[in-house]
Amino acid sequence: MSISIALAQMTLNRAEPETNSQKADDWVRNASDQGAEIVLLPELWASGYDLKNCEIYGTLIHEGIFAEMRSMADKYNIAVGGSLIERENDAFYNTFVLYGASGEMIASYRKIHLFGLLEEDIYFKAGNQLVLVESDWGKIGLATCYDLRFPELFRAYAVRGAELILLVAEWPQRRVAHWQRLLQSRAIENQCFLAAVNKAGVSQGEKLSGYSAVINPMGEYLTQGGENEELLIANIDLKEVNKIRRWMPVLQDRKPEVYQTFLNE
């Protein structure tokens, strides 16, 4: 199944959700006008890492900024994904939501690996479930930023048949080499497509790297951004995943029982 994916590598203003929402709306419209079927917005695209004010930005998953994002998808007839601050009772989550082209929620994923260096573990509650979507395009897994450093998550998706993994991030320029190598590694070792959007610009005095990318199961870049704002679009054919997995059956040749025995020693 072929699909056109857009990555909205945007600069966003910390603590200015109204400004960011209008900008995101423009970029979603642009992606739709260019024929994309999915557009990804960066991690915490509405508020940025203004975590001390989670109570200001956090809403129930069907209200507030989530509803605005859903409206963008419906208005421009394009699937839209990105992460926002979700409130549930007294807890807050960094939640990646994916809406379909009619505004229906396809999936929501609460970030599992919280980044202590930005105090995510203080302000957010960690998610505890992987999310694999059985979409019209194929099987899609969701991940957020720091998750990229945990290969177990991506391998779990691959073992369950994921053909495409979507990742949203706010990744700094000083670790851009890690970003690039980890993206390629996750795609190669799991023989799947990986579409990853990152912010551009500056956040809390930290320059962000950009370099959003779509990578195929062989680790080849189908598109890659630079350090500045840009809308990237790539067309992928998910049929390639099964072809490559049959050609080199890495997933079949795993020995999980041996690994588990070692871990249990």
Catalytic residue numbers read 43, 111, 145
- Residues with Cβ within 8 Å of 166's Cβ and at least 6 positions away in sequence, in order, are 38, 40, 81, 96, 98, 140, 141, 142, 143, 195, 196
Please give the full DSSP string across 26-43, using - where no structure is assigned: HHHHHHHHTT-SEEE--T
What tokens were used for 23? Answer: 């900008």
What tokens were used for 38? Answer: 């999915």
Please give the full DSSP string across 139-195, using - where no structure is assigned: EEEEEEGGGGG-HHHHHHHHHTT-SEEEEEE--BGGGHHHHHHHHHHHHHHHTSEEE
